Structure 1
């Protein structure tokens, strides 16, 4: 699904296809936190995703603060670098665990959702490429902080564009992943899925 014309391409889709939404229709998002099976893995998954959303928002806000001169170059670099490294490293690690362990277990447990996990796996490849571009743009930006104002502004704009693209991809992916996985956990329970 790396084909941009594909209907389920991450950067252009508006959600999971209808035939993969039968469990989320049975267990709508607004009912998740009240379900008996939300504790444990489902709760951990949601909290982890919320952390990624929060960190992505912080990075977006931070680059905005720098571009609007609310943070100077050195203060921004000290603030930005550890947060970006934490975000990128944890996101990559999270996706590796999902691809290598959880997605195969879930796809095996519910064959009707197999294509959904293939879509999510394809997302991970696109997000991994976006993570690499983001890291490259961030490194160029941090390097440019010691240069003239025009170079800094150009590098900040380039990073902001890469960050915005990554955050948009991540937002769509996290929502779709939750819509596929959380209802499955709620429906079957961790023990029956082999993850508890």
Structure 2
């Protein structure tokens, strides 16, 4: 069963509309509370790596936002922003896109095979990826607008930075919610079934 982000029946579960995952989708969450994950005998290298990647994505996204905010607050100038912004943003977006591609093509199909009750949850996560990608594209467009505006006179560059910041904030807000929900499906599943079926 595929979850479409456009289906009205799943509107409440669409990323940005939902407040976490319902218990019937994250059905292992109660058995494996987040605070106990690392203490479980099945918590291994893959689970640890997964959480590290998510922590890195959160950090990279926040670093880009902090940099642009420093420019908006006149703590750095246009030259300093341009020098740091492009590599930071490119690194973040490339890591995010790569992570989602690996999940969709490699890991999510394996999770679906572990228990048929997981199918709807991982279909939902894939729908999240599609929605996040749309926001990623919009963020890139506003980033280009910001870079083009850095040499413009007056307040043009700061207006472009404001526009970028609004778009990037939407992306990061959705991403943070998605990562938390994904962890509540992925890590309990690893603890329940072990990591071997996923490698």
| Length-normalised TM-score, structure 2 | 0.94
2:126 is equivalent to residue 109 of structure 1: no
**Residue 150 of structure 1, CA deviation:** 2.3
Deviation per CA, 1:121-168: give whole Å up to 9, x if none: 000001111111111111110110011232112210110001100000
Q: Distance in 2 between matches of 1:99 and 1:22?
A: 21
Partner of 1:2: 5
- Specify which of 158, 161, 184 is matched with residue 189 of structure 2: 184
Partner of 1:133: 138
**Residue 4 of structure 1, CA deviation:** 8.4
RMSD (Å) for aligned C-alpha atoms = 1.2
Q: Work out the number of aligned pairs and report it.
A: 194
Contiguous gaps of at least 5 residues in structure 2: none
Deviation per CA, 1:96-137: give whole Å up to 9, x if none: 110011111101111101100010000000111111111111
Bigger helix share: 1
Structure 1 residue matching 2:29: 3-state secondary structure: helix
Partner of 1:86: 91
Contiguous gaps of at least 5 residues in structure 1: none
2:101 is equivalent to residue 96 of structure 1: yes
Deviation per CA, 1:62-96: give whole Å up to 9, x if none: 11111000111010111111010000011001101
| Length-normalised TM-score, structure 1 | 0.95
Which has the higher mean CA deviation after the structures are superposed, 85-94 or 150-159? 150-159
